[in-house]
């Protein structure tokens, strides 16, 4: 993966951020159980930074609420993302960042799948295969250089 | 010692007390000024330069010692002539001369000629910038003094003064002097003729723009330092003080606006916003388009909110400045031309809602619109119809919502909105749109309706139907309720909407009278909202609701709209009867009664008197089955004003004394005691009442049981609120009780808790009930309590209840008071997190969290004990706020040096895996943030 070359999509389209989740009265009631939902997964990954631009994945429309599915019965989460251009070489890195963020912050009971939206990238199937291969992901995150790049992407201003 | 000897002593020893002695001799007339000058003459004319200088300094110091009305005009004259001659003598003497001048300038008897001599001498002999800061400061003080107090003299010098001042100030770098210079310049631009030197004057000021100055950190806290804000403000005031600077200032601002440095752009916009009062649009006509381009660029691509707000304000300022000038469509000074440009440039962005520029463009256009009524009309009539058209063609609901929000934003009320009218075709189109789509987007339509109503746009019949249907059938959440209430209150407040209001009320009331059902609380609240009108409230109430018990509960909301007289004469008796027969013990009753009590004035003396005589003094009412009636009375009387009812209150106090103590203990005892405390507090200025209160306190102390300790606490609190220093006498007793091994210790802890808790004031012991509350009560109380409690706090064998109350006490104390002590008390706070002190956890955690956030390093020595406890509390299932605060603490702890916390990292990340799976979303959110902080510790 080449990281040193300049940005490929020089002039990306920028989208409006969605409003923050409104806190309901029941959120403060300790006896009510709040299931993890699509929106919560979205809130986890929306703030991931793009590797090339000083923008978040949400602002570039790489991830959106519709691309997330969650099934609390079978404990599975599926995230689909859309690279800004079909030949984006950063797609794997973006996918890896999403995986890393969810790995750190989702309860361990969930099985996570990260895929590219159908037809959104020319190497879709290869990248999907890479991203969902547990061993390759682990190996990638053990690589010191790669981990530093991923960490830079998932560092948000609050943390 | 005679004068000569004193002078010699000064010259030899430089003894400073000699100045005082000589000054005193002059004031007491034991020495004449002439004799003093003659005595010092030899030194003043000495061939040794150092002696001449010293002698001059002595003269200056002695004159400074004298009051500024002491010298006669001729004395001043001779001193001025002499000093100005000395100026040209030698440059070393100039510093002392300037000092002497400064003192002479402040003498009240100085005449105009001497002032002129002094100014001319300063300008001709003093090369200001070659002197040290102190002397330069003196020069500017003299000049500012003349500008402030002898403006007529300065005006005689005309523009020469301006020219010479520019030379003196040129190159000044010291902030203290600059503040003075800027003040002088502000007066000069206002009162002197600066025309010949305006460019030079501007140049000398402009070189400081934008002001970037950071005050040095001085060790001496008391030393007065010049702040950045002070300088920025002074500089801005000069730049914007006169329109004569416009031709130079605007190009400079443009240059700064084009720079990459955000602070320079902010400063430039700040100056522009403030300059429009003085600058005329004609002075900047050739720059108008350039300014517009720069401001709109700033607003559309703002890096942060501060820049965005400033840029939008600048746009409004620009439009206002054009609006104030004579319009000419041939030139750029034309509101229409610039508004067209704005619409041309930004209008297109409104069509692409998903893009990031849509909302900034809306904000820019709104900033243009809010400048004046012409701009508003142009913006509205151009943009709103096209937005409506767009709304009708779009399919997606979220796009339609965005359009509604945009229209709402355009129509939001600003300062000028009261005088302009929405073009009628736009208004009609909007009402049609609202009536058709109200049901689909209520949450977005309601704010738009309120904005339209505030513009006095008259809605059609459909609105009433829509609103009625909405109120009666929709399931309203909190957000919608607030929006709906705003709309209803606007409808109620204006006479224009009287018809709609009346119809709505009738519709709503018919809905439950017709079907003979009970109205829901939401519907009732809506009806009350519709009565929010000071003129119509009474009429609407009488017409629609009276007498209805449900409304009595909600009435306190409307009190501000009804005149006191109306309440006193019409509401009191029928309502009180109604209340006495039917009330239940709830918050509304208390509020209602207390409000009635607090508005009662002298005019209701008879009512009050009858009321307590027939009710309160009647023995039967004190029986247990009539206690709710008693409650009404207690809240009513407890809120009466001292000013009008001092005598009555005293009478009541004496009469009910027995009654209260004879009551058997029940759940009402508490309120009786507070009522008693209320009366004591209000009457504490009378000695016999104070004595009486003290004797009751003593009685309680002799037999400390639950009832007596409780009474003790309330009376002590009533007294402390009146005079906080009383606490000194009572704390030892409390500490004694707290150290007892029996139940008394627990009761005493509770007592301390209620004494120190000022957040939850009971209704009867608060300033709302007209109690006397000392303004410094918190500070004095806590200082006293903390100093006396110190030994107890560091005691290692605290009982859990003691621990609990002390930790609570710490979280209640204002942070500034315990700043120094908190670190020494940290071990107690950490101990309070132990499993046995469950009830102390929330307070202890809050205190610790504040401490780690503000001073993380203070906690370093305790992390070994703190980490395990926080880890346990982060999974405490019974209370989510404890979990959240513990997680916050863990997050803040990542700010400690890495080598200190690294050993815990694995363990904490492992624990947080459990927390991110918590069953509450808010806990998970905090856990995720904490988890990320720990995972990325070295990243």
pLDDT of residue B797: 63
Per-residue buried b or exposed e for B834-843, using 16+ beta carbons within 10 Å of the residue's own CB: beebbebbbb
pLDDT at B546 over 70: no
Query: In the predicted model, is pLDDT for residue B553 greater than 60?
Result: no
pLDDT at B81 exceeding the cut of 70: yes
Place of tokens 């309070």: B832
| Chain A partners within 8 Å of B878 (Cβ) | 30
Residue of B nearest to A106 (CA): B916
Contact between B605 and B644 under an 8 Å Cβ cutoff? The reply is yes
B568: confidence class by pLDDT, cuts 50, 70, 90 = low
Report the C-alpha gap between B470 and B463 in whole angstroms: 10
DSSP class of B517: -
The residue length of chain B stands at 939
Mean pLDDT in chain B? 82
The tokens 């027939």 sit on which residue?
B614
Q: CA torsion A86→A91→A92→A94, rounded to 10°?
A: -160
A38 close to A69: Cβ distance less than 8 angstroms: yes
Residues B737 and B704: beta-carbon distance below 8 Å? yes
Chain segment B782-815, per-residue pLDDT in tens: 778 777 777 766 666 666 666 677 777 776 666 6
Residue B628 — pLDDT band, cuts 50, 70, 90?
Answer: low
Peptide bond into B210 cis (omega under 30): yes
Angle between helices A91-105 and A38-45 (to 10 degrees): 120
Beta bridge partners of B355: A15
Whether B819 shows a pLDDT value over 80: the answer reads: no
How far from the centroid of its chain's Cα atoms is residue B912's Cα? 39
Of the ranges A59-73, B223-237, B699-713, which is most confident?
A: A59-73
pLDDT of A2 over the 50 cut: no
Selected residue with higher pLDDT from A88 and B614? A88
Nearest CB to A13; choose among B355, B478, B880: B355
Average pLDDT over residues B361-386: 88
Question: With helix as H, strand as E and coil as C, how does B23-55 read?
Answer: HHHHHCCCCCHHHHHHHHHHHHCCCCHHHHHHH
Could you tell me which chain B residue has the CA closest to the CA of A148? B939
- Tell me which of A116-120, B451-455, B464-468, B657-661 is least confident: B657-661
Strand order in the sheet with A111-116: A68-71, A76-81, A111-116
Average pLDDT over residues B611-616: 70
User: Which DSSP letter does residue B667 get?
Assistant: T
CB-CB: which of B355, B913, B933 is closest to A15? B355
CB atoms within 10 A of CB B288: 21
Question: How far is residue B704's CA from residue B726's CA, in Å, rounded to a whole number?
Answer: 20
pLDDT attached to residue A98: 93
pLDDT of B230:
87
Task: Judge: B880–A155 Cβ closer than 8 Å, yes or no.
Answer: no
Instruction: Find how far residue A41's CA is from the centre of its chain.
Output: 9
Q: Strand, helix or coil at B355?
A: strand
Does B920 contact A148 at a Cβ distance shorter than 8 Å? no
pLDDT above 90: residue B252 = yes
Angstrom distances, CA of residue B767 to CA of B71, B558, B564, B721: 56, 21, 20, 10
Q: CATH assignment of B822-939? A: 1.25.10.10
**Which one is predicted more confidently, B223 or B203?**
B203
* Interface mutation target, options A12, A30, A108, chain B, most CBs of B under 10 Å: A30
Looking at residue B90, what is its pLDDT?
81
Residue pointed to by tokens 């989702």: A106
**By percentage, how much of chain A surpasses pLDDT 70?**
92
Are residues B422 and B411 in contact, defined by beta-carbon separation less than 8 angstroms? yes
Please name which of B562, B611, B472 lies closest in space to residue B545, comparing C-alpha atoms. Answer: B562
- The stretches of B494-536 forming alpha helices (DSSP H) are 498-515, 521-529
Can you give the pLDDT at residue B556? Answer: 59
pLDDT for residue B570 is more than 70: no
A34 contact residues in B (CB cutoff 8 A): 919-921, 924
State yes or no: pLDDT of B906 exceeds 50. Answer: yes
Contact A107 B879 (CB under 8 A): no
pLDDT over 60 at B223, yes or no: no
Q: How far, in whole angstroms, is CA B791 from its chain's centroid?
A: 38
Token couple for B648: 């009555």
Asked if the model's pLDDT at residue A148 lies above 70, the reply is: yes
Position B526 scores a pLDDT of: 79
- Reported as a single tens digit per residue, the pLDDT across B279-293 is 888 888 888 889 999
Residues B198 and B158: beta-carbon distance below 8 Å:
no
Q: Which of B354, B928, B929 sits opposite A16 (nearest CB)?
A: B354
pLDDT range class, residue B418, cuts 50, 70, 90: low
A–B: how many Cβ contacts below 8 A? Answer: 69
Q: What is the distance between the alpha carbons of residues B43 and A62, in angstroms, rounded to a whole number?
A: 88
Instruction: Extract the tokens encoding B879.
Output: 């209370």
- pLDDT above 60 for B275: yes
Percent of chain B whose predicted confidence (pLDDT) is above 70? 85
Task: Enumerate the domain spans of chain B.
Answer: 245-371, 822-939
**Do residues B918 and B878 touch, judged by C-beta distance below 8 A?**
no
pLDDT, one tens digit per residue, over B718-727 is 888 888 888 8
pLDDT, mean of residues B438-444: 86
Report the gap between the CA of A66 and the closest CA in chain B (Å).
Answer: 14
Measure the N-to-C terminal CA separation of chain A; round to a whole number of Å.
28
List, for residues A116-139, the tens digit of each pLDDT value. Answer: 998 888 888 999 999 999 899 999
What mean pLDDT is predicted for residues B216-238?
76
Residue B643 token pair? 């000013």
Model confidence at B817, pLDDT cuts 50, 70, 90, reads low
CB contact under 8 A, A105 and B916: yes
Q: How confident is the model over B855-883, as a mean pLDDT?
A: 86
Q: What is the pLDDT of residue B850?
A: 80
Residue B309 has pLDDT above 60, yes or no: yes
- Going by pLDDT thresholds of 50, 70 and 90, the confidence category of residue A71 is very high
Contact status, residue B334 vs residue B327, Cβ threshold 8 Å: yes
Q: How confident is the model at residue B589 (pLDDT cuts 50, 70, 90)?
A: low
Closest alpha carbon to B848 in B890, B883, B899: B890
DSSP chain A: ---SSPPS-SS---BPPPPPPPPPGGGG-TTS-----HHHHHHHHTTPBPSSSSSBTTTTTSS-GGGEEEETTTTEEEEEE--SSTT-TTHHHHHHHHHHHHHHHS-TT-EEEEEEPTTS-TTHHHHHHHHT-HHHHHHHHHSHHHHHHHHHHH--S--
DSSP 8-state symbol, B571: I
pLDDT at position A159, please?
37
Q: Ramachandran region of residue A32, left (φ > 0), alpha (ψ -120 to 50) or beta?
A: beta
State how far the Cα of B767 lies from the Cα of B721, in Å rounded to an integer. 10
Which DSSP symbol is given to B319?
A: H
CB contact under 8 A, A158 and B929: yes
CB contact under 8 A, A107 and B354: no
**Preceding peptide of B547 cis, ω within 30°:** yes
Selected for mutation to probe chain B from A41, A47, A105, A154 (highest B CB count within 10 Å) is: A105
Q: B54: pLDDT confidence band, cut at 50, 70 and 90?
A: confident
Contact B780, B725 (CB under 8 A): yes
- Higher pLDDT among residues B612 and B915, named by residue: B915
Per-residue tokens: B10:
């000064």
Say how far apart CA B661 and CA B699 lie, in whole Å.
Answer: 12
Q: Tell me, what's the pLDDT at B398?
A: 82
Average pLDDT, stretch A15-25? Answer: 82
Chain A closest-CA separation from residue B888 CA (Å): 12
Cβ–Cβ under 8 Å, residues B678 and B638 = yes
pLDDT at B314 over 90: yes
Q: Which CATH architecture has domain A35-154?
A: 2-Layer Sandwich (3.30)
Is the pLDDT at A1 greater than 60, yes or no?
A: no
Phi and psi, residue A60, nearest 5°? -90, 0
Closest CA to B926 of A94, A43, A152, A109: A43
pLDDT tens column, B678-695: 888 888 888 888 888 888
For chain B, give the percent of residues with pLDDT over 90.
12
Cβ atoms of B338 and B288 within 8 Å: the answer is yes
Determine the pLDDT at residue B293.
Answer: 92
Instruction: Check whether B5 has a pLDDT greater than 80.
Output: yes
Give the side-chain half-sphere CA count within 13 A for B303.
7
Q: Could you say which of B354, B920, B924 has the minimum Cβ distance to residue A15?
A: B354
Q: Is the pLDDT of residue B584 over 50?
A: yes
Q: Do the beta carbons of residue B116 and residue B81 sit within 8 Å?
A: no
Q: A76 - beta bridge partners?
A: A71, A111
- Give the domain ranges of chain A: 35-154
Task: For residue A16, give the nearest of B356, B919, B921 by CB distance.
Answer: B356
Whether pLDDT at B33 is above 90: no
Residue B640, SS3 per DSSP: coil
The answer for residues whose C-beta is within 8 angstroms of residue B651's C-beta and 6 or more apart is none
Token duo for residue B257: 């606006």
């Amino acid at each position: 993966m080449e990281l040193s070359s300049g940005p490929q999509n020089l002039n990306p389209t920028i989208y409006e951020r969605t409003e923050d989740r409104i806190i309901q009265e029941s959120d403060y009631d300790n006896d009510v159980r709040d299931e993890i939902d699509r929106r919560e997964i979205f809130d986890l990954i929306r703030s991931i930074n793009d590797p090339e631009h000083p923008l978040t994945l949400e602002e570039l429309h790489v991830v959106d609420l519709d691309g997330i599915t969650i099934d609390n019965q079978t404990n599975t989460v599926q995230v689909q993302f859309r690279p800004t251009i079909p030949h984006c070489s950063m797609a794997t890195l973006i996918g890896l960042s999403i995986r890393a963020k969810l790995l750190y912050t989702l309860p361990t009971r969930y099985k996570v799948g990260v895929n590219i939206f159908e037809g959104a990238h020319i190497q879709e199937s290869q990248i999907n295969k890479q991203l969902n291969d547990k061993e390759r992901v682990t190996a990638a995150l053990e690589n010191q250089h790669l981990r530093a790049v991923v960490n830079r992407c998932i560092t948000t201003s609050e943390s | 010692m005679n004068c000569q000897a004193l002078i010699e002593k000064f010259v030899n020893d430089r003894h400073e007390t000699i100045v005082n002695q000589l000054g005193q001799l002059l004031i007491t007339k034991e020495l004449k000024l002439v004799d003093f000058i003659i005595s010092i003459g030899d030194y003043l004319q000495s061939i040794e330069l150092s002696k001449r200088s010293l002698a001059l300094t002595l003269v200056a110091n002695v004159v400074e010692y004298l009051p500024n009305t002491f010298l006669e005009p001729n004395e001043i004259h001779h001193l001025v002539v002499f000093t100005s001659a000395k100026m040209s003598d030698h440059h070393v003497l100039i510093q002392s001369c300037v000092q002497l001048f400064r003192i002479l300038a402040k003498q009240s008897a100085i005449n105009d000629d001497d002032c002129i001599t002094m100014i001319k001498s300063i300008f001709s002999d003093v090369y200001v910038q070659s002197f040290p800061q102190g002397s330069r400061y003196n020069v500017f003080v003299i000049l500012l003094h003349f500008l402030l107090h002898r403006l007529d003299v300065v005006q005689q010098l005309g523009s020469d003064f301006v020219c010479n001042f520019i030379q003196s100030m040129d190159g000044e770098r010291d902030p203290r002097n600059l503040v003075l210079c800027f003040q002088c310049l502000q007066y000069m631009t206002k009162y002197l003729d600066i025309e010949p030197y305006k460019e030079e004057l501007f140049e000398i000021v402009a070189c400081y723009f934008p002001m970037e100055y950071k005050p040095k950190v001085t060790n001496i806290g008391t030393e007065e330092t010049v702040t950045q804000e002070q300088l920025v403000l002074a500089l801005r005031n000069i730049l914007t003080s006169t329109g004569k600077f416009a031709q130079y200032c605007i190009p400079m601002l443009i240059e700064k606006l084009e720079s990459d440095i955000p602070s320079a752009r902010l400063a430039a916009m700040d100056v522009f916003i403030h300059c429009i009062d003085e600058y005329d649009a004609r002075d900047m006509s050739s720059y108008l388009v350039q300014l517009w381009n720069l401001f709109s660029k700033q607003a559309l691509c703002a890096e942060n909110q501060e820049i965005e707000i400033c840029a939008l304000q600048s746009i409004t300022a620009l439009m206002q400045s054009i609006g104030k000038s004579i319009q000419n469509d041939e030139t750029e000074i034309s509101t229409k031309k610039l508004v067209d440009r704005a619409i041309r440039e930004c209008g297109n962005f409104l069509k692409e809602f998903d893009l990031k520029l849509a909302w900034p463009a809306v904000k820019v256009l709104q900033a243009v619109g809010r400048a004046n009524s012409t701009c508003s009309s142009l913006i509205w009539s151009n943009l709103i119809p096209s937005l409506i058209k767009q709304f009708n063609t779009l399919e997606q609901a979220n796009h339609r919502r965005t359009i509604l929000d945009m229209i709402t934003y355009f129509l939001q009320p600003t300062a000028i909105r009261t005088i302009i009218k929405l073009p009628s075709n736009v208004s009609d189109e909007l009402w049609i749109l609202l009536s058709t789509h109200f049901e689909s987007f209520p949450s977005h339509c309601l704010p738009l309706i309120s904005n339209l109503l505030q513009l006095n746009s008259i809605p059609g019949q459909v609105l009433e139907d829509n609103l009625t249907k909405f109120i009666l059938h929709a399931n309203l959440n909190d957000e919608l309720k607030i929006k709906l209430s705003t709309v209803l209150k606007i409808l109620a407040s204006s006479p224009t909407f009287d018809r709609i209001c009346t119809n709505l009320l009738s519709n709503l009331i018919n809905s439950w009278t017709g079907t003979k059902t009970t109205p829901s609380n939401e519907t009732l609240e809506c009806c009350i909202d519709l009565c929010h009108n000071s003129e119509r409230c009474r009429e609407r109430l009488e017409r629609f609701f009276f007498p209805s018990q449900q409304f009595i509960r909600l009435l306190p909301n409307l009190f501000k709209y009804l005149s006191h007289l109306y309440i006193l004469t019409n509401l009191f008796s029928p309502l009180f009867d109604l209340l006495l027969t039917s009330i239940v013990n709830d918050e509304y009753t208390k509020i209602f009664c207390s409000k009635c009590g607090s508005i009662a004035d002298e005019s209701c003396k008879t009512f009050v008197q009858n009321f307590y005589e027939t009710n309160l003094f009647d023995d039967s009412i004190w029986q247990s089955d009539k206690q709710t009636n008693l409650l009404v009375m207690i809240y009513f009387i407890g809120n009466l004003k001292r000013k009008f009812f001092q005598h009555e209150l005293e009478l009541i106090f004496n009469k009910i004394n027995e009654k209260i103590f004879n009551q058997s203990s029940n759940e009402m005892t508490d309120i009786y005691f507070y009522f008693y405390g209320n009366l004591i507090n209000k009457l504490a200025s009378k000695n016999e009442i104070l004595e009486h209160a003290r004797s009751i306190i003593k009685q309680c102390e002799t037999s400390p049981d639950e009832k007596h300790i409780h009474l003790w606490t309330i009376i002590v609190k009533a007294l402390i609120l009146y005079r906080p220093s009383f606490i000194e006498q009572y704390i030892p007793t409390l500490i004694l009780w707290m150290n007892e091994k029996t139940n008394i210790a627990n009761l005493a802890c509770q007592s301390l808790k209620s004494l120190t808790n000022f957040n939850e004031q009971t209704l009867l012991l608060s300033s709302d009930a007209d109690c006397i509350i000392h303004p410094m009560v918190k500070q004095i109380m806590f200082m006293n309590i903390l100093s006396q409690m110190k030994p107890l706090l560091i005691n290692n064998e605290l009982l859990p209840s003691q621990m609990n109350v002390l930790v609570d006490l710490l979280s209640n104390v204002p942070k500034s008071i315990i700043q120094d002590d908190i670190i020494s008390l940290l071990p107690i706070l950490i101990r309070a997190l132990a499993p046995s002190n469950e009830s102390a956890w929330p307070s202890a955690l809050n205190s610790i969290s504040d401490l780690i956030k503000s001073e993380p390093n203070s906690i370093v020595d305790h992390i070994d004990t703190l980490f395990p406890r926080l880890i346990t509390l982060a999974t405490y299932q019974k209370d989510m706020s404890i979990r959240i605060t513990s997680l916050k603490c863990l997050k803040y702890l990542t700010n400690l040096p890495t080598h200190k916390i690294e050993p815990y990292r694995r363990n904490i990340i492992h624990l947080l895996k459990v927390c991110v799976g918590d069953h509450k979303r808010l806990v998970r959110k905090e856990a995720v943030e904490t988890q990320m902080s720990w995972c990325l510790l070295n990243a």
